[in-house]
């Protein structure tokens, strides 16, 4: 057994970035080596990337979260190394943009080393992709990560045996603790220094497949085709009937393509199934052999993580846990946010009361408005957004979020979606824009459109600011929670209607669920800051400038005519003050403008001008009304003008109908 994996061996050397390399100016400009990290989703690849580079890239636990590769730099033993974190994928097919991006980068950019990160506890499944990387004939290292979790399951990996079977270096790591990364980088430098790849260890398939691969490879070599990919890899792809590779080869030699097609037909006749399926089976057979040969099992104990997994995915208790997770996330945000908001409000009131100024010099009005914007941002945005993002990060990184998505699969099918759609919908509670972009993880345009439609009703951070800033602060937490319940009901009803209207069939759920793990506080903190800082950079300037401008416009009388024109809807139907019409229009630009305008016009003591029922109805209508301009823009880009217009109209009509009905229903209780 290899000394890296022997439980009696010394503890692996932990990787630490030096203080020197933390300083950007000390990193040499010249890149000595380029390393690409490749592998399946949820194997810890992004953790390896962050540990090596100190990058602030967000780490998530769902597949396909990043199409564009992430880049970082590392100073190791006086060498400047560029590290590329490729998207998490399972094959080099052409079914997704992530797979195309990864294979084209590896083939054409030619990194000095490709590090294939695999999960030690599910080695056979991960080696399916490793075999495809071997076929690419690249300088390859296999990083067997999460060996600690594998040991908890009674699995020990002999890296020496695995290295001998694959014909490439193999290093074991626990990336989240930095263990093994030093040896990994030493091996990477050594491999990169060899410059050329001589594959003397070609992985062979069964005779009927291997013979045909060799014939096509010989055809490609004899015709001297310039394809950019290794000949053997192209031959295998032609047998798999890969459309992109077939077009690439056909542009130079139709004869090779025709011969490959005929050979693929022969394989299909022998096995009575599609040739790509036959080759996939061959790869899995090899992966099974390699994993079985390198994997040693000790006495298996049922771990706490496995017991927890059974509870969370139980057909009865799983739904209770899912409800507790989602409800707990929101309740945590409300309780902690309300406490922090109170502390900050008292602190600012001690220094200077915040009251609007609608008379006097223009300079004094602008300054007063700007200060009110600062107070609104500090007391009504940060206290609620930071706790939400922190808890969401911990839930993501623990692995529980994918279990919740799995349990919600049957319920999501009621609106034509599967459980995987819950991930972008929960992301929508942070921001609708990246949530709609992340619907690309869904398989069909219909599913993406239905999910995007539902997401436009999800109370994002900006809407949450309005709900909490108006209802939780001035009414009570329970009415704020009630608004979230109403929102979920609206999303379900409208999703069900859209499911009936939009043609197509719902698909089944296939989702990777990685092992439960204790989330890293430091990783969650980095992720929280990465998400929060973009909000701060946008919200605070908008609040400061916008509050000053709105207060000036109100003082000069520009807003009153618009408000009066909309009074039949806002006053008669919704029971709101006259100014609410202008407030809702500004809120369509950015949702925070609803709160911002009220503070700019009336000050932070809004209870003096609005009744409890008006707080609730204004927050409800703002939550369901038109999504912000940024959301409409991404909808237009993803789905076109017709779908975007339909979704926008549905939002407006829903907000007005639900708001008017809620006003009449809630009035006796508030």
* 201 falls within a domain: no
Dihedral, CA atoms, 455, 456, 460, 463, nearest 10 degrees? -150
Task: Name the least confident of 23-32, 240-249, 275-284, 296-305.
Answer: 23-32
Q: What are phi and psi of 295, to 5 degrees?
A: -100, 125
d(CA 144, CA 172): 5
Q: In what order do the strands lie in the sheet with 79-85?
A: 70-76, 79-85, 33-39, 113-119, 140-145, 170-172
346 shares its domain with 405: yes
Cα–Cα distances (Å) from 251 to 92, 103, 245, 254, 288, in that order, read 21, 20, 10, 7, 37
Average pLDDT (320-339) is 78
Q: Is 309 annotated as a binding residue?
A: no
pLDDT of residue 664: 94
Angle value at C-alpha 70, between 394 and 521, nearest 5 degrees = 20
400 shares its domain with 480: yes
With a cut of 70, say whether residue 198 has pLDDT above it: no
Q: Is 41 annotated as a binding residue?
A: yes
Most confident of 150-154, 364-368, 557-561, 570-574: 570-574
* 599 falls within a domain: yes
Q: Is 199 annotated as a binding residue?
A: no
235 shares its domain with 288: yes
Cα–Cα distances (Å) from 453 to 432, 494, 645, 647, in that order, read 10, 9, 11, 6
Q: Give the CATH number for residue 257.
A: 1.10.287.1770
Q: Is 85 annotated as a binding residue?
A: yes
625 shares its domain with 501: yes
Task: Name the least confident of 285-289, 509-513, 535-539.
Answer: 509-513
Q: Give the CATH number for residue 36.
A: 3.40.50.300
With a cut of 60, say whether residue 56 has pLDDT above it: no
* 469 falls within a domain: yes
The larger pLDDT score, comparing residue 492 to residue 629, is at 492
pLDDT digits (tens, 9 = 90+) for 636-650: 888 889 999 999 999
Q: Which of 263, 297, 331 is the last residue of a domain?
A: 297
409 shares its domain with 502: yes
Average pLDDT (44-62) is 65
290 shares its domain with 327: no
Query: Which pTM was predicted?
Result: 0.55
Task: Provide the percentage of residues in the chain whose pLDDT is more than 90.
Answer: 18
Q: Is 637 annotated as a binding residue?
A: no
Q: Is 65 annotated as a binding residue?
A: yes
What domain range includes position 126?
19-192
Most confident of 14-18, 52-56, 155-159, 317-321: 155-159
Q: Is 158 annotated as a binding residue?
A: no
Nearest alpha carbon to residue 108 among 229, 220, 196, 198: 229
With a cut of 80, say whether residue 353 has pLDDT above it: no
pLDDT digits (tens, 9 = 90+) for 564-574: 888 899 999 99
Average pLDDT (497-508) is 70
Q: Is 260 annotated as a binding residue?
A: no
Q: Is 207 annotated as a binding residue?
A: no
Tokens in use for 644?
A: 């975007």
Neighbours of 324 (CB within 10 A): 12
Report CA 468 to chain centroid distance, whole Å: 25
Q: Is 147 annotated as a binding residue?
A: yes
d(CA 81, CA 524): 26
Q: Is 43 annotated as a binding residue?
A: yes
* 307 falls within a domain: no
What sign does the dihedral 399-404-410-415 (CA atoms) show?
negative
216 shares its domain with 177: no
Contacts of 402 (CB under 8 A, 6+ apart): 61, 62, 423, 511, 512, 513, 514
Contact present, 376 and 543 (Cβ < 8 Å): yes
Average pLDDT (374-390) is 73
Q: Is 66 annotated as a binding residue?
A: yes
* 10 falls within a domain: no
415 shares its domain with 474: yes
Q: Is 50 annotated as a binding residue?
A: yes
pLDDT of residue 666: 93
What sign does the dihedral 89-95-101-107 (CA atoms) show?
positive
Q: Is 145 annotated as a binding residue?
A: yes
d(CA 512, CA 514): 6
Average pLDDT (575-602) is 80
The larger pLDDT score, comparing residue 2 to residue 207, is at 207
* 614 falls within a domain: yes
Average pLDDT of every residue of the chain: 79
Q: Is 64 annotated as a binding residue?
A: yes
> H helices within 422-468, ranges in order?
422-427, 432-437, 445-455, 461-467
* 584 falls within a domain: yes
253 shares its domain with 153: no
pLDDT digits (tens, 9 = 90+) for 204-246: 888 888 999 999 999 888 888 888 888 899 999 999 888 888 8
Q: In a 3-state reduction of DSSP, which class is residue 204?
A: coil
Report CA 128 to chain centroid distance, whole Å: 24
pLDDT of residue 127: 93
Q: Is 30 annotated as a binding residue?
A: no
- Give the model's confidence band at 539: pLDDT under 50 very low, under 70 low, under 90 confident, else very high: low
Q: Is 295 annotated as a binding residue?
A: no
- Give the model's confidence band at 64: pLDDT under 50 very low, under 70 low, under 90 confident, else very high: very low
pLDDT of residue 420: 66
With a cut of 50, say whether residue 3 has pLDDT above it: no
Contact present, 490 and 662 (Cβ < 8 Å): no
Contacts of 490 (CB under 8 A, 6+ apart): 457, 624, 654, 658
188 shares its domain with 214: no
Instruction: State how many domains the chain has.
Output: 3
Strand-strand pairing, 113-119 and 155-157: unpaired
pLDDT of residue 160: 92
Q: Is 46 annotated as a binding residue?
A: yes
Dihedral, CA atoms, 96, 99, 104, 109, nearest 10 degrees? 130
Contacts of 593 (CB under 8 A, 6+ apart): 546, 550, 583, 586, 587
Q: Is 88 annotated as a binding residue?
A: yes
Task: Provide the percentage of residues in the chain whose pLDDT is more than 70.
Answer: 80
pLDDT of residue 11: 46
- Give the model's confidence band at 589: pLDDT under 50 very low, under 70 low, under 90 confident, else very high: low
Q: What are phi and psi of 124, to 5 degrees?
A: -60, -45
With a cut of 60, say whether residue 23 has pLDDT above it: no
213 shares its domain with 186: no
d(CA 94, CA 566): 52
CA atoms within 13 A on the CB side of 290: 30
Q: In a 3-state reduction of DSSP, which class is residue 602?
A: helix
562 shares its domain with 462: yes
* 106 falls within a domain: yes
d(CA 652, CA 641): 17
Residues in the chain: 670
Q: Which of 161, 192, 223 is the last residue of a domain?
A: 192
Cα–Cα distances (Å) from 198 to 191, 412, 435, in that order, read 12, 50, 44
Q: Is 237 annotated as a binding residue?
A: no
Task: Name the least confident of 122-136, 314-328, 523-537.
Answer: 523-537
Contact present, 486 and 619 (Cβ < 8 Å): no
Cα–Cα distances (Å) from 213 to 259, 279, 424, in that order, read 11, 11, 41
Contacts of 40 (CB under 8 A, 6+ apart): 88, 89, 90, 118, 119, 125, 126, 129, 512
Q: Which of 133, 160, 192 is the last residue of a domain?
A: 192
Average pLDDT (345-374) is 66
pLDDT digits (tens, 9 = 90+) for 41-52: 888 888 888 888
């Amino acid at each position: 057994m290899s000394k890296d994996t022997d439980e009696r061996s010394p503890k692996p050397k932990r990787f630490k970035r030096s203080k020197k390399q933390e300083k950007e100016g000390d990193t040499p400009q010249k890149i000595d080596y380029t390393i690409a990290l490749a592998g399946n989703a949820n194997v810890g690849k992004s953790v390896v990337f962050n540990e090596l580079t100190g990058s602030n890239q967000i780490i998530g636990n769902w597949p396909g979260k990043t199409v564009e590769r992430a880049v970082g730099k590392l100073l190791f033993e006086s060498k400047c190394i560029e590290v590329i974190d490729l998207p998490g994928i399972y094959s080099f097919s052409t079914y997704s943009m992530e797979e195309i991006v990864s294979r084209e980068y590896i083939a054409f950019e030619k990194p000095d080393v490709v590090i294939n990160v695999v999960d030690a506890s599910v080695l056979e499944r991960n080696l399916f992709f490793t075999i495809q990387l071997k076929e690419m004939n690249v300088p390859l290292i296999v990083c067997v990560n999460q060996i600690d979790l594998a040991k908890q399951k009674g699995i020990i990996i002999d890296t020496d045996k695995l290295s001998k079977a694959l014909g490439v270096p193999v290093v074991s790591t626990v990336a989240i603790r930095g263990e093994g990364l030093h040896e990994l980088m030493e091996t990477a430098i050594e491999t990169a220094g060899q410059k050329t790849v001589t594959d003397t260890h070609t992985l062979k398939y069964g005779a009927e497949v291997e013979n045909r691969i060799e014939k096509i490879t010989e055809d490609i070599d004899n015709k001297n085709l310039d394809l950019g990919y290794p000949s053997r890899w192209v031959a295998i792809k032609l047998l798999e009937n890969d459309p992109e590779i077939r077009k690439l080869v056909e542009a130079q030699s139709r004869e090779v393509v025709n011969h490959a097609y005929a050979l693929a037909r022969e394989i299909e006749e022998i096995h009575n199934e599609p040739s790509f399926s036959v080759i996939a089976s061959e790869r899995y057979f090899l992966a099974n052999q390699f994993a079985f040969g390198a994997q040693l099992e000790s006495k298996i104990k049922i771990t706490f993580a496995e017991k927890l997994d059974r509870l969370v995915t139980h057909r009865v208790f799983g739904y209770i846990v899912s409800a507790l997770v989602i409800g707990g996330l929101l309740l945590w945000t409300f309780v902690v946010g309300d406490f922090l908001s109170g502390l900050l409000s008292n602190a600012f009131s001690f220094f200077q009361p915040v009251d609007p100024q609608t008379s006097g010099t223009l300079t004094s009005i602008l300054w007063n408005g700007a200060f009110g914007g600062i107070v609104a941002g500090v007391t009504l945005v940060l206290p609620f957004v930071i706790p939400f993002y922190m808890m969401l990060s911990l839930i993501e990184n623990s692995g529980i979020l994918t279990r919740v998505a799995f349990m919600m699969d049957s319920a999501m099918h009621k609106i034509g979606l599967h459980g995987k759609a819950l991930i972008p919908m929960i992301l929508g509670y942070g921001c609708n824009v990246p949530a709609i972009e992340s619907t690309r993880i869904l398989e069909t345009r219909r599913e993406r459109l239905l999910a995007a439609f539902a997401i436009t009703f999800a109370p994002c951070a900006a809407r949450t600011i309005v709900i909490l800033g108006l209802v939780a602060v001035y009414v009570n937490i329970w009415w704020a929670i009630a608004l979230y319940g109403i929102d979920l009901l609206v999303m379900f009803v409208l999703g069900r209607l859209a499911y009936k209207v939009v043609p197509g069939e719902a698909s089944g759920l296939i989702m990777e669920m990685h092992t439960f793990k204790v989330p890293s506080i430091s990783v969650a903190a980095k992720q929280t800051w990465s998400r929060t800082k973009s909000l701060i950079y946008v919200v605070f300037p908008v609040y400061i400038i916008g509050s000053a401008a709105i207060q000036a416009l109100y003082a000069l009388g520009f807003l009153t005519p618009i408000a009066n024109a909309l009074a039949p809807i806002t006053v008669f139907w919704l029971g709101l003050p006259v100014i609410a019409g202008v407030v809702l229009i500004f809120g369509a630009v950015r949702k925070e403008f609803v709160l911002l305008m009220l503070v700019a016009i009336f000050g932070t003591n809004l209870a003096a001008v609005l009744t409890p029922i008006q707080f609730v109805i204004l927050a409800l209508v703002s939550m369901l009304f038109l999504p912000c301009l940024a959301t409409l823009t991404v909808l237009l880009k993803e789905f076109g003008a017709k779908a975007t217009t339909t979704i926008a109209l549905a939002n407006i009509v829903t907000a007005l109908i639900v708001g008017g009905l809620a006003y009449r229903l809630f009035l006796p209780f508030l």
